Amino acid sequence: MIKTSRTGRGNNIAFIPVRGGSKSIPLKNIKKIRGRPLVYWSVKAACECKYIDKVYVATDSEKIKNVVEKFKSGPCTNSFCKIEVIGRSVESASDTASTEYAMLEFAETHNFENIVLIQATSPLLSNIDLDRGFECFLEAGTDSVLSVVRQKRFHWMIDKQGYAHPTNYDVFKRPRRQEFDGYMVENGAFYISSKAALLKSRNRVSGNIKAVEMNEDTFFEIDEPGDWIMIEALMRKNGISALRDIPVIKMFLTDCDGCLTDGGMYYSENGDEMKKFNTRDGMGFALLKNTGIITGIITSENVKLNRKRAEKMKLDILEAGCKDKLSAARILCEERGIALENVAYVGDDINDIALMKEVGFSCCPADAVEAVKDVADYVADACGGEGVIREIIENLMGIDFNRNI
Q: What is the pLDDT of residues 171-197, one digit of tens each?
A: 999 998 888 888 999 999 999 999 999
SS3 letters across the chain:
CCCCCCCCCCCEEEEEEECCCCCCCCCHHHCEECCEEHHHHHHHHHHHCCCCCEEEEEECCHHHHHHHHHHCCCCCHHHHCCEEEEECCCCCCCCCCCHHHHHHHHHCCCCCCEEEEECCCCCCCCHHHHHHHHHHHCCCCCCEEEEEEEECCCCEEECCCCCEEECCCCHHHCCCHHHCCCEEEEEEEEEEEEHHHHHHHCCCCCCCEEEEECCHHHHCCCCCHHHHHHHHHHHHHCCCCHHHCCCCCCEEEECCCCCCECCCCEECCCCCEECCECHHHHHHHHHHHHCCCEEEEECCCCCHHHHHHHHHCCCCEEECCCCCHHHHHHHHHHHHCCCHHHEEEECCCHHHHHHHHHCCEEEECCCCCHHHHHHCCEECCCCCCCCHHHHHHHHHCCCCCCCCC
Tell me if domain 12-240 and domain 246-396 are identical in fold.
Answer: no
pLDDT at 283 over 80: yes
pLDDT at 3 over 60: no
12-240: CATH topology is Spore Coat Polysaccharide Biosynthesis Protein SpsA; Chain A (3.90.550)
Q: What is the pLDDT of residues 253-275, one digit of tens each?
A: 999 999 999 988 888 888 878 88
Domain ranges of the chain: 12-240, 246-396
Catalytic residue among 6, 174, 236, 307: 174
The question of whether 174 is a catalytic residue gets the answer yes
Q: What is the pTM of this model?
A: 0.75
Could you say which of 3.40.50.300, 3.20.20.60, 3.30.420.310, 3.40.50.1000 is the CATH number of the domain covering 246-396?
A: 3.40.50.1000
